[in-house]
Amino acid sequence: MGLTETEAQAYVYLSRRGPHGLSDLADALKVTNERLALVLENLTAKNMVNSAPEPSGKYYAIPLERVLDEFTESAKEQAKALQASKREFLRAWRAKSKDASSKS
């Protein structure tokens, strides 16, 4: 799913052990708070982790089934876009090829 090792470790840890604050999670994973903040930002952008509102501010994992459903939907949308690009590219290719052959 395109995760770094630390991203995967953070997701698995939160999935198995429940919500944790940044410092506690950084200690558990043996990474700096700064590094973990970037990891959690990436996981949040990928809709795999979210944070509770203040004052707790703890991070928690989105259930794996929901993550996989969103990943699958995203992949389907990307495939549709790629198919549309392919059709457009082939249409343009054929038009250029037709022009080139008529000029020969």
Residues 16 and 54 in one domain: yes
Domain with 82 in it: 64-104
Let me know whether 24 and 69 are in one domain: no
Is-contact 49 22, C-beta < 8 A? Answer: no
Looking at residue 18, its pLDDT comes to 95
**Same domain for 57 and 9?**
yes
Predicted confidence at residue 57, as pLDDT, reads 83
11 and 29 part of one domain: yes
In DSSP terms, 61 is beta-bridged to: 49
Number of domains in the chain: 2
Note the pLDDT of residue 97: 85
pLDDT for res 99? 77
One domain, residues 53 and 73: no
Same structural domain for residues 30 and 78? no
Residue 49 sits in the same domain as residue 75: no
For residue 88, report the phi and psi dihedrals to the nearest 5 degrees: -65, -40
For residues 75 and 97, membership in a common domain is answered with yes
pTM: predicted TM-score of the whole model, two decimal places: 0.74
Q: What are phi and psi of 4, to 5 degrees?
A: -75, 170
- Positions of the chain with pLDDT lower than 50, given as ranges: none
The per-residue pLDDT for 104 is 63
The single-letter DSSP state of residue 50 is E
How far apart are alpha carbons 68 and 70 in whole angstroms? 5
Amino acid making up residue 11: Y
